[in-house]
Structure 1
Amino acid sequence: MSQPIRSRPARGSATRVRTGSRTLAACIRFAEIVSQCDEQIPACSSCLRNNTVCLVEDPVTKRHQPRNYLELLEQRVLTLERQLHETNSILTNTCTPLDVPPLTADQSVTDSNRPTETDADSHADDLASMVGTLSLNAAGAEPSYLGPSSTFAFTRFLKLSMRQAIGPLSPNVSEQDPDRYNALAPDPCLLPDYQTARQLSNAYFENVHAQYPFLHEQTFREWEAALADPSEAAAAWNLGFLPLYFLNMVYAVGATLLPNMGYAAEQLYASAMLYIDDIISHDNLESIQAVLCCAVYSIRSTKGISHWKLAGQALRQCINLGYHRDHKRFKSGVSPFQQEMRKRVFWSAYVMECAAAVMLGRPLGLHFEEIDVEVKRHCFHVCRAAVNVEKYPLDIEESQLVPDGVIGSARSSTDTPTMMTYAIHGFKVRILLGRIQTALYSDCTIISTEERQKRIQKLSLELDKWWAECPQPRAPPRGGALSFYRTPDFYEINRNYAILMLYRTQMTDTKTPAPDEVFLKCMQAAQNTCHSCRRQFLGKKTAYTWGAVHELFLAGLTYVYCLWTSAAARAASRQDQASSVCTDCTMVLVILAERCKDAAPYRDIFEVLASRTMTMLADLQQGKAVETVAISHGQRYCPEELPQWMEGITHTGYASGVDRLLSELIDECPASEATQYEPLSWNT
């Protein structure tokens, strides 16, 4: 049979790009010693002996990928095709098509005449209005309007926010802001290979889950085990979206902690968004867990949706389902396992929202006094007696919490601390910070200084009690701590932060000057915070968050404020001590600004304030007269960029806690307008 004549491609036409040789190559671990790599599939013998991931480098893309990458792709494509085919069959048999009028010739859209972004948004709004009146029940039921608080609206909010944060923009933006134009939306990606997946999930459960234990690790590990044999994944997951969503989200958060594993967190996050619609369409425990996963991702990522919004949404869903109330009072017949998971989910959402509200200076979504999630605990299987305890989750080992119930009894005060011991103690300090925010900053009815002082004394005693009950520092995970929560300084940092919140109103009270003891106490707390941040961040793998920026900047600002306004503080601090504190704070802020450009104004302003403070101390030592403010407009040392720096701090939404201090240190510093701005998503 004759071969067909192949025409020569026209000049300038697209041609296939040669992707290079696909022959086997030595893995990257033994690239220089080829003899030690026997090029076996799926992993060479040397990598198997060393228990490491066997990766090879693609000759064209330079991307590191498993040696059996193509085989994994083929298996997963078959799995996805089978899932898609069966899902379509189910939809065809169960769904009734909507009566949508066909498009006319004038309404059709071709590739050469696509709508603009404005038109697309308009059509999306129209579509949202139409879908918002769809029936929630069986055919024939009255249409129900899905308002802003509905699951549909939240789904749209999630995806629209993600598009605004990392999505492509219209062509007319490219000339104005090329950086944003180049930030293309990431494509979804396949799940990591099993060995990489284990490293990412271990990073999550050792560093994040220990602080916010709203997932059940045993269930997750069962889903993850299916990755070891992708061909059996569909049967193992029972064709559900739930495992795929949580696997992708946990790996996305893990990728923010381990950015050099070869998987982009944004791509894994985009993959998870493919499955979120089906999950949050149900008003249940899993939908709240899904929202909390998004909140945790926003905490760890510089891109994403506002952490305050997500945590607030999760908390409102908990309230809607009654998770903040004692289930026994309402005769709720939930299993012990579900009861415990509800408490973990509720408290994770509560402290997450509480921490964000405190930093933003906003009211809490739910006051602590309105919570009676449970006033008694029961020990199942081993002991049946009920004992009076607090309203937090059970202090048990993770292995004791199984779908069949709770095995054994809760930990006593003399037993070795568990993961939940540290988590519950972290809950308590975040709750205390929220109460300080409500009692001293949000309550506009406080008029007398005596009433404010009584509240400060009461909250200070509670802080001392919490500090006295701190468990012994927890050993860091193997390989080092990846989150500040797992460092030995976590509790001390929170204690110092609470001290600054307690007494900041007294320091800045112009009508009733604070006593010297207040300035000395705040200066010591600020100094300890700066030293702790340098010790745990500099040269360590600890991930940086907006919480670190906020707490460190507040500490540094408080320290220089005390030196400028209190003679007792200046007398108690040597010049070399002040230099050490300012240097530590500056160094960490410099590193934070290198990671996120929005942290640069904090770095720039503190560098100027620290320099002026050291000059002031030197002038005082030489007997020279000094000015009453650190920076004043018109002075030679006043930076021209100061207004832009102040605007940058205000734009982040975190200026509410430091605006009074800045206005005292910087002459003619405008008051904060933080409530006019949308806070950045990179939160605590």
Structure 2
Amino acid sequence: MAHQIGLVSLPNGDDPRYIGPSSGHFFTQLVCTVSAHTKTANPMRLGVNNATLQRDSALTERLLRDIQTPLPSSKETTQELTKTYFKTVHQHSPFLHEPTHMKLIEEMYTMHEPDPVVAFQVYMVLAIASVTLSRRDRIVLPSEGWYTMAISYFEKVPLESSTRGLQCLLLLYIWGMHSPSTKLNVWYLNYQCIAMVVDLGLQRDVTATLAISPIDQEMRTRIFWVVYSLDRSLCTMMGRPIGLRDEACDLRLPADVDDRDLARDSIKRRPEDEPPNHMTYGIHMFKLAKLNSEMKYILHSISRDTPAYAYPAIRCMNTWQRDMASRLDQWAADTPNRSTRDYAVKLCEVRYHVLKTLLLRPSPGIPQPSSDDLRGCYKSAISAVRLYHELYIENSLVFSWACYHSIMMSSVTAFFCIWTCPAVAQDTVLDELVSDLRAASNILSATGEHWPGAKRSRDILDELSHRTISWMMDRKNRDNGENQNVVPARNGDISWSDLNENTLTGLQPTGDTSAHLQTNELEALMQQYSRNWTPGLDLLPPSLDQVSDPNTGLWTGDMNTDMFLQDLFDGLAPMSF
């Protein structure tokens, strides 16, 4: 890691990129470091060079510029494809208005020279819908061709001071999260969207004093919340600072109104006795984004010294954590129509478990969670994997970078809990763990059809799975024998200094006791992490000066964490710059 925790050297840029604590970067380092000291695997299988993939990607980009696909000859086909977008992306990012968009399709088939905004939005929605549908049903659709056709109109789109222009940017953002081939810079797009939100005043409830129609007022509010939610989600996944702070916004939630009931001059709110619609779930996800925002502020702030002009500091982090866990649980309990188990409900459950793991795993705010916290963290990490697998089996999983990141980080977090918390290892049912790890591997294999890095991430996951299962089987055999060198289960807090040589020797798979992680190495990692991940701090003891060399050991070997981070971030849209 170039001796700087939090900076990842990627092959498509001169300078390293910052990846912060909430991204899961630390777990990759710690779990892979522990695992790399237990067994030597075949480095050729895990350390694939990215040069060939980069050349293939560059060729793909050149070809895409030459491929432009017109609309389907049938308007009905276009409308049917478009509905796929509104059944998936629109459920959690309702920044378009479905009836209005269907009218835009009508215009495209009647106008000789369509408006650039109309053409761009119609083609982009087609591209996003088709890439989702083609992966789900394994059919070939010209998604890249429609994307390149949309881009041909983009330079004529009036982006400045226009909600329509902001909608266009959001469509590019969504496309970048679903298509790695075009290498859109989603991180920069995110901040461009935030800049437009502020420029248009969408963060403030100023509509009462302006002559704005009900539909325009609601769309302004919806668009703000989509940008707000995407920013919180992306910043959490990449471990970077939030772009627009909560105290600068009014945070007025949109009305629970179906698109069909949102007209130019009136709003028909959903009666309580009617089933929930897409906005019901959208509003519910917006509420979760507020909790996500609070967690980012409190758990992952780089400076722990609260300035005098800020809000009062959290006096007891554990009390705040328990309160946040209670609010997350209440949010999950309030999910509309939980019993239906449909796509929107499962999407809410996945987001709940992903944030629950973020709350309970080690963070700069709580660097040493208790055994109970790690038990809950493990439970949510495995639950997220199982929910993704349910969606995959039901052919409802939408493959995106967020999905890929969540599955990989949930799996790595589960390993972390097993390897560092004896209580989790003792409670884990081996057969269930094998099934869950196989499910995660299968999803990553399917994801690898679209993101090459996912296949290498799957290889790393499979290697970690093999080592963990081997150790647990060995531990179980010893439990049935003399119970020697077995780590006892404890109910108290886990101190990293408690992971002594005997404990770490107990983490060895059968037949390999030649190498194990030294206690001071693990403590050095935890020391760096507890110091808020500040790049460049010289916290490693002298004995680690050599092993922290990228060419000699701690960060390399068959579990090359630099390669892992490259696969996870460089091969995907958000880090492609």
Normalising by structure 1, report the TM-score.
0.60
1:645 deviates by 4.4
Q: How many Å separate the matches in 1 of 2:420 and 2:54? A: 44
Q: Which residue matches 1:166? A: none
Is 1:430 equivalent to 2:289 in the alignment? yes
Q: How many Å separate the matches in 2 of 1:247 and 1:175? A: 31
Q: Which residue matches 1:647? A: 562
CA-to-aligned-CA distance 1:255-289 (integer Å, 9 cap, x gap): 11122665411111111112122223442111101
Q: How many Å separate the matches in 2 of 1:192 and 1:626? A: 59
1:327 deviates by 0.8
- Pairing partner for 2:417 from 551, 562, 569: 562
Q: How many Å separate the matches in 2 of 1:526 and 1:176? A: 32
Q: How many Å separate the matches in 2 of 1:464 and 1:319? A: 32
Is 1:598 equivalent to 2:453 in the alignment? yes
- Pairing partner for 1:442 from 301, 307, 316: 301
Q: Which residue matches 1:191? A: 71
Map 1:656-675 → 2, pairs under 5 A: none
Query: CA 1:586–1:279 in 2, change beyond 3 Å: closer, same or farther?
Result: same
Q: How many residues are aligned here?
A: 451
Runs of 5+ consecutive residues of structure 1 not aligned to the other structure: 1-172, 227-232, 374-390, 477-484, 655-676
- Pairing partner for 1:392 from 253, 273, 293: 253
Runs of 5+ consecutive residues of structure 2 not aligned to the other structure: 1-50, 307-312, 479-504, 517-552
CA-to-aligned-CA distance 1:611-631 (integer Å, 9 cap, x gap): 1111111111222944499x9
Map 1:209-288 → 2, pairs under 5 A: 209-226=90-107, 236=111, 239-259=114-134, 263-288=141-166
- Pairing partner for 2:444 from 582, 586, 589: 589
- Contact 1:530-1:556 within 8 A present in 2 as well: yes
Q: How many Å separate the matches in 1 of 2:167 and 2:185? A: 17
Query: CA 1:367–1:507 in 2, change beyond 3 Å: closer, same or farther?
Result: closer
- Contact 2:317-2:366 within 8 A present in 1 as well: no
- Contact 1:255-1:264 within 8 A present in 2 as well: yes
Secondary structure of 1:611 counterpart:
helix
Is 1:420 equivalent to 2:279 in the alignment? yes
Q: Which residue matches 1:82? A: none
Q: How many Å separate the matches in 1 of 2:56 and 2:111? A: 45
CA-to-aligned-CA distance 1:116-149 (integer Å, 9 cap, x gap): xxxxxxxxxxxxxxxxxxxxxxxxxxxxxxxxxx
1:418 deviates by 2.0
1:431 deviates by 2.9
Map 1:299-318 → 2, pairs under 5 A: 299-304=177-182, 305-318=184-197
**AA aligned opposite 1:486:** Y
Is 1:319 equivalent to 2:178 in the alignment? no
Q: How many Å separate the matches in 2 of 1:366 and 1:349? A: 10
Secondary structure of 2:337 counterpart:
coil
1:439 deviates by 1.4
Query: CA 1:367–1:281 in 2, change beyond 3 Å: closer, same or farther?
Result: closer
Higher mean C-alpha deviation, range 620-629 or range 265-274: 620-629
CA-to-aligned-CA distance 1:491-549 (integer Å, 9 cap, x gap): 22111111111111269967xx5332112111211221222122211462522111112
Q: Which residue matches 1:619? A: 474
- Contact 2:301-2:364 within 8 A present in 1 as well: no
Query: CA 1:242–1:192 in 2, change beyond 3 Å: closer, same or farther?
Result: same
Q: Which residue matches 1:500? A: 357
Q: How many Å separate the matches in 1 of 2:292 and 2:192? A: 20
Q: How many Å separate the matches in 2 of 1:559 and 1:234? A: 52
Higher RCO, Cα 8 Å, sep 6+:
2
Query: CA 1:432–1:496 in 2, change beyond 3 Å: closer, same or farther?
Result: same
- Contact 1:300-1:682 within 8 A present in 2 as well: no
Between the aligned residues of both structures, percent identity stands at 21
Secondary structure of 2:85 counterpart:
helix
Query: CA 1:234–1:203 in 2, change beyond 3 Å: closer, same or farther?
Result: closer
**AA aligned opposite 1:251:** L
Q: How many Å separate the matches in 2 of 1:454 and 1:196? A: 55
CA-to-aligned-CA distance 1:392-451 (integer Å, 9 cap, x gap): 11111211212xx35354235454312210111112223322321221012522599963
Q: Which residue matches 1:680? A: 573
Q: How many Å separate the matches in 2 of 1:524 and 1:347? A: 30
Secondary structure of 1:275 counterpart:
helix
Query: CA 1:625–1:454 in 2, change beyond 3 Å: closer, same or farther?
Result: closer
Higher mean C-alpha deviation, range 252-261 or range 178-187: 178-187
**AA aligned opposite 1:208:** V
- Contact 2:68-2:148 within 8 A present in 1 as well: yes
Query: CA 1:255–1:445 in 2, change beyond 3 Å: closer, same or farther?
Result: same
- Contact 1:303-1:682 within 8 A present in 2 as well: no
- Contact 1:204-1:254 within 8 A present in 2 as well: yes
1:599 deviates by 1.6
Q: Which residue matches 1:468? A: 333
Q: Which residue matches 2:397? A: 542
Q: Which residue matches 1:451? A: 316
Q: How many Å separate the matches in 1 of 2:268 and 2:55? A: 59
Q: How many Å separate the matches in 1 of 2:292 and 2:58? A: 36
Q: Which residue matches 2:82? A: 201
- Pairing partner for 2:231 from 334, 339, 353: 353
**AA aligned opposite 2:276:** P
Q: How many Å separate the matches in 2 of 1:257 and 1:174? A: 26
Query: CA 1:641–1:267 in 2, change beyond 3 Å: closer, same or farther?
Result: farther
Q: How many Å separate the matches in 2 of 1:679 and 1:632? A: 38
Query: CA 1:470–1:234 in 2, change beyond 3 Å: closer, same or farther?
Result: closer
1:650 deviates by 1.9
- Contact 2:300-2:365 within 8 A present in 1 as well: no
Is 1:491 equivalent to 2:348 in the alignment? yes
Query: CA 1:362–1:174 in 2, change beyond 3 Å: closer, same or farther?
Result: closer
Higher radius of gyration, 1 or 2: 1
Root mean square deviation of aligned Cα: 3.5
CA-to-aligned-CA distance 1:440-466 (integer Å, 9 cap, x gap): 012522599963223312322321221
1:634 deviates by 6.5
Secondary structure of 2:316 counterpart:
helix
Query: CA 1:588–1:633 in 2, change beyond 3 Å: closer, same or farther?
Result: farther
1:214 deviates by 1.1
Q: How many Å separate the matches in 1 of 2:339 and 2:79? A: 22
**AA aligned opposite 1:455:** W
- Contact 2:430-2:469 within 8 A present in 1 as well: yes
1:353 deviates by 1.8
Secondary structure of 2:201 counterpart:
coil
Secondary structure of 1:533 counterpart:
helix
Q: Which residue matches 1:15? A: none
Q: Which residue matches 2:9? A: none
- Contact 1:249-1:268 within 8 A present in 2 as well: yes
Q: How many Å separate the matches in 2 of 1:626 and 1:634? A: 11
- Contact 2:457-2:567 within 8 A present in 1 as well: no
Q: Which residue matches 2:270? A: 411
